Amino acid sequence: MAKSTQLIDNEVFRAYATYAAIVLIKMMLMSLITAYFRITRKAFANPEDTASFGKGDSAKKFLRTDADVERVRRGHLNDLENIVPFFGIGLLYALCGPDLSTALLHFRIFTGARILHTFAYLIPLPQPGRGRSVELEHVDIFQQRHLLKYS
């Protein structure tokens, strides 16, 4: 079993940790963006969230869905569906000892595609931009998994 000092000295693992941190921070920012949209659109999901806007019937009008809020939430959900597999497969890939330049290419492709997907979701950009970014992520993850199988 590898010691923690061996992992810290491993350039591929450090690259993985860097790009994993980037997509994790991006995913956490989606929570703040969701909160921003909820507050600015005054569209809340829970009665206790409307307390600052009044009580009773006056607060009930803020218990509603908003298309912009739901769009951001779907983008955040898509992050959860795609970043979690990257954490697992990317970690295993980093630990199997790949070439640094190949690993960097995989990590950068995934991170760039994830950021592009977020912009495509929030702006919104016309399809196939968002769909192509997800395809690129999936191809990248499956390629890492394939390389794991043969390492």
Kindly tell me if the per-residue pLDDT of 13 is higher than 90.
yes
DSSP 99-130: -HHHHHHHHHHHHHHHHHHHHHHHTTPPTTHH
CB 144 within 8 A of CB 90: yes
Mean pLDDT, the chain, integer: 88
Q: Which of 94-98, 106-110, 111-115, 142-146 has the lowest mean pLDDT?
A: 142-146
Kindly tell me if the per-residue pLDDT of 112 is higher than 60.
yes
Alpha-carbon separation of residue 5 from 8, 10, 11, 88 (angstroms): 5, 9, 12, 21
Q: What is the CATH number of domain 2-148?
A: 1.20.120.550
**Coil, helix or strand for 3?**
coil
What percent of the chain is predicted at pLDDT more than 90?
Answer: 54
In angstroms and rounded to an integer, the radius of gyration of the C-alpha atoms of the chain is 20
CA pseudo-torsion sign 136, 17, 121, 67 = positive
In this structure, which amino acid lies at residue 110? F
Kindly tell me if the per-residue pLDDT of 58 is higher than 80.
no
For residue 4, name the pLDDT band (cuts at 50, 70, 90).
low
- For the whole model, what pTM was predicted? 0.85
